[in-house]
Amino acid sequence: MTKFSAPKGATSKPNPRGGTTYTTKNGTEFRTGKAGNLTSLKTKSGATAHFGANGKVASIHSGNMTINHGARGGRVVSTRLAGGGRVVSYGGHRGFVERPFYRGGRAYMRRSYFYGGRRWAGVYRGYYWGGYPYWGYVPGFYWGAGFYGWAYNPWAAPLAWGWGWGGAPWYGYYGYYFAPYPVYASPAFWITDFLLAENLRAAYDAQQAANAEAAAAAAPPPPASDQAVVLTPEVKQAIADEVRAQIAAEQAAAAAPNATAPVPAASEPPASAAPAATPTNTQLPEALDPKERTFVVSNTLSEQTDDGTACSLSSGDVLTRIGDTPDANQSVKVLVTSGQNNDCATGTQISVAVQDLQDMHNDFRAKMDAGLQSLADNQGKKGMPASPAPGRKAVPEGTAQPDADADKQLDQADQNADKAEADVQQSQQEGSGDD
């Protein structure tokens, strides 16, 4: 941890986290932690940057934009839109655009993905809790009751199905962290490895696309033979238990009356007001459900420790929610139960926004459904037991057309982020006298 040198001519005063706040003549503000390390700075234009223990920028907040840097390279840019929704770029022409819309007088959010040159859309239903709007995942399809039962229960004989990951760059990179099950006793374990692999693959792609040099310079993971795999069997069991719980919940939803009935046509909200979940449309967010405790991180985040130093969370890290009541910032306490190299350390307690936990839950559901689709495609093949007829049925409520210009919006978000990064860098140089 590098000690911060106060800029020449700066005024100083103690800050609430036990460190010092320095303000330069041009208005740039630097904050240090108890150990004297730089924890944040505020530029004269109003942008705020938080720093990790390595002295590098971990996050930037500028107007309606937040930039989070991963510990091993890459960044995620999230921009709030004036009419509601947001643009989230992972770099490399990848990410999604969220826009609100109505169906039958109810608020929804359409998420238009652009990834690998392909477009598709997901749908989220709006509701209200504690004075804040939330958005819950709506499946694009349901399966038959027999298939859900097959996917929920153990197989008669364990499945030994090789994934063919051996030559994949991401698999070698994360060899210290993730080891697939040698055999699969039930579909829940199979889906557990599937969704963890998808998260780690996406994280690796983001590192390579957004900052290839930083990814190449990152410390190589320790060989699997020299160190126990970080993602322990106990943590993976908690994820598998969550998979089974969500399969059961989705089966119950599929059996509900009108589960696949036609829905009213979508309409765009008035330009002056985004749709909002109303107080009459309330429910507890899944992120705060007492039964929902395990969350797999699905995007790069930057969180603050007690002294203000930032630590990162990356796709594939695992959290356990230990708090039940959101604080004034709408965050709850979580325990990092599995963290990758240079991320928030395993065992660390931090506060995470309930909205971010809800995003993780929604992503978990979406990846679980992708895993169920893969099971349906491969049942009866490669040694996998045959299932009852999958009986896939479209859910009209969970379907939408993606934005045609999502890729352009992602590119614009990256350009705006580059300007904010340059503003922070210039403030650092001016504060240290290195201009």
Read off the pLDDT band of 5 (50, 70, 90): confident
Is pLDDT of 248 > 80? yes
Scanning 23-173, the segments in alpha helix (DSSP H) are: 145-152, 169-173
Query: Rounded to whole angstroms, how far apart are CA atoms 18 and 4?
Result: 14
**Domain locations in the chain as residue ranges:** 144-238+274-394
Mean pLDDT for the chain overall:
88
pLDDT score at 191: 96
pLDDT tens digits, 272-310: 555 555 556 789 999 999 999 999 999 999 998 887 889
- Please name the residues in contact with 178: beta carbons below 8 A apart, sequence gap of 6 or more: 196, 197, 200, 229, 230, 231, 316
pLDDT score at 213: 42
Mean pLDDT check: name the lowest of 114-128, 158-172, 176-190, 280-294: 158-172
Read off the pLDDT band of 211 (50, 70, 90): low
**How far is the CA of 138 from the CAs of 196, 253, 367, 382, in angstroms?**
21, 10, 12, 31
Closest CA to 336 of 285, 292, 296: 296
DSSP letter assigned to residue 224: G
pLDDT tens digits, 387-414: 999 999 999 999 999 999 999 999 999 9
Read off the pLDDT band of 225 (50, 70, 90): very low
pLDDT tens digits, 70-111: 888 778 999 999 888 999 998 888 999 999 999 888 899 999
Beta strands in 324-435 (DSSP E): 331-338, 349-353, 393-394
Q: Which range scores top for mean pLDDT: 2-6, 129-133, 143-147, 162-166?
A: 143-147
User: Considering the entire predicted model, what is its pTM?
Assistant: 0.90
pLDDT score at 164: 75
State percent of the chain over pLDDT 70: 91
pLDDT score at 224: 44
Distance from the Cα of residue 411 to its chain's centroid:
20
Q: 39 with 31: CB under 8 angstroms?
A: yes
Read off the pLDDT band of 216 (50, 70, 90): very low
pLDDT tens digits, 346-397: 999 999 999 999 999 999 999 999 999 999 999 998 889 999 999 999 999 9
Is pLDDT of 208 > 90? no
pLDDT score at 227: 57
Q: 355 with 277: CB under 8 angstroms?
A: no
